[in-house]
Amino acid sequence: MKSCGRATPKVAVFQDLSGLGRCALSVALPVLSVMGAQACAIPTMALSVHTGGFGAVCKQELSGFMEGALRHWGELRIRFDAVYMGYMASDGQLALCDGFLDSQSAPGDHHAFVLFDPAMADCGRLYSGIQTSRVNAARAMCARADLIAPNLTEALLLLDLEPGERPIGQGELAKLLRDLIGLGCGASVITGVELMGGEHVNAYLAAGAEEPLLIPYEQVPERYSGTGDLFASALLGALLRGESAESGIRRAASFCQRAALRSYQAGAPVREGVQFEALLGELLPRNGDTERR
C-alpha cells in the first residue's frame, strides 16, 4: 500500500458492535487509533454481548442506520484511505457496502484500499444465523478487495470446498491461495492455519507472486473469540503506515499471540476475548518500523 498523503488516514470500518466481548468494532477502533488511523465506524449490528458463550443475546440489525449513514457520508463527499469490511448482519448489508465502494473509487487518483474479512464461518461451519447465500455474496465481494483475510473455513467455503477443520499440506494451502486470488482480489491472507506436522501459520499470497509467504506463530492452548478481528485490524494499521505485507502480518500475529498468552496465563474468561488493552503501546510506531514495499 502506498503511504497515505494525509497525516491521519481515514478508515471506514464496517463491523458489529458488542457491549461485552472483545471483537469487531470494540477491537478495531482502539487498534487502528493507536496505530495512527482515524477509525470511522459503521456498526452493522448492535449486540448486548458477542455470540460466543453468553447464552441468549439481545441484538438489533442496523441496515436502516447503515443506509442513512452512508447516504449522509455521500452528501458530505467524504473520501477514505481504506475501507475495512467485517461482519455483516445480512446479504443486503454487503450490497450497501458494494455501492459505498463505488463512491470511494471515483475517477482520478483516489482509491480506497479495501480489506475484506468475510467473517461468516469458523471451525468448519457457518456462524449461527448466516445462510448459505452469504457465501455467494462474500465471493462476489472478494473481487472488490485489495486484500481478503479469511480463516481456513471461510477460504474453503469461498472456493466451494468442504469446510471441515483439519491440518493442511503446504501444496494444498498454496493452491487455495492461488484460487482465492482467482476470485479477483489483489492479495489474500489465510489466518490461523494448522499445517500437517502441527506448525501454525498465517499464509499470504499477492496476485502475480509465484510462491506464498508462510509466517509461523505460536499457538496458545485456548481458543478466544475476536482474534481474527484483532489480527486484521493490526495488519491494516501496519499497511496504512507503509509497512510491507510481511512486516504487517508478523506484527499482527505477534500482537495477537502475546495478547492470547497474557490472557491464558492470567486465567481470563475465554468468552470475553483476549486481554489486549495493556499491550496497545506495542503497536505504536517506532524508529525503523516502516518497511516500504
The span from the CA of 174 to the CA of 213, in Å, is 9
| Predicted pLDDT at 287 | 62
The span from the CA of 178 to the CA of 126, in Å, is 23
Question: pLDDT tens for residues 96-154?
Answer: 999 999 999 765 667 899 999 999 999 999 998 899 999 999 999 999 999 999 999 99
CA distances from 241 to 32, 118, 292 (A): 11, 24, 9
Question: pLDDT tens for residues 172-196?
Answer: 999 999 999 999 999 999 999 999 9
Strands (E), 10-80: 10-18, 38-47, 59-61
Beta bridge partners of 188: 148, 205
pLDDT exceeds cutoff 50 at 260: yes
Q: Could you give the domains of the chain?
A: 10-279 (3.40.1190.20)
Strands (E), 35-172: 38-47, 59-61, 82-85, 113-116, 121-122, 125-126, 147-148
Q: Is 63 left (phi over 0), alpha (psi -120 to 50) or beta?
A: alpha
| Predicted pLDDT at 131 | 92
The pLDDT mean for the chain works out to 93
